[in-house]
Amino acid sequence: MAIADSQGNLYDFQGTNSIGKNHLLFGNPTKAIPIGIPGENDEEWDRCVKNAIHQYQHEEYNFLYRSTPVFLIMYRSNNCHDFAACALNQMELPRFKNHPFNCTNLALLAVSRGHFLGFGSFLLSWLPFLLIIASIIVSIVLCLVCSKKK
């Protein structure tokens, strides 16, 4: 997951002390979530993105969890989703005023409100899953056919 500045540059927390610009860790983006209104308060948006970049340039990357108390929860991740949430939480977005961003709700937002950037992006996202399901179905059918022959 990445966040863009007002000029369209993408920033991605790629690892400990590493922020990528316009080159994402896991390849080109396939989905986008329209959150801000283009042209509205671009300076504030860019300031918040830069603040997150400066903070995460000194952060340790942890894909799953790290042991840090956060609101009585002892474990949380520190990855690209958290980086995007950090920038978004600094912004005063009217639609999300009472809902702070975190790793989980950004992922849910990507699934529910994100849109594919093209048909190729759709295929890139869903084709591996569909191939796995198809191979499972074919395996089950072959097992059933072979068991009936015996």
One digit per residue, pLDDT tens: the chain, 150 residues?
999 999 999 999 998 888 999 988 888 899 999 887 766 788 999 999 999 999 999 888 877 654 555 555 545 678 898 999 999 999 878 777 778 888 888 989 999 999 999 999 999 999 999 999 999 999 999 999 988 876
Predicted pLDDT of residue 30? 92
Instruction: Please give the Cα distance from 30 to 83 (Å, whole number).
Output: 18
What pLDDT sits at residue 114? 93
- Integer Cα distance of 100 and 109 in angstroms: 12
pLDDT attached to residue 98:
78
Euclidean distance between CA atoms 88 and 127, whole angstroms: 31
pLDDT for res 100? 84
Strands (E) in the chain, as ranges, are: 3-4, 10-15, 18-21, 31-32, 62-70, 73-78, 115-116
pTM of the model: 0.77
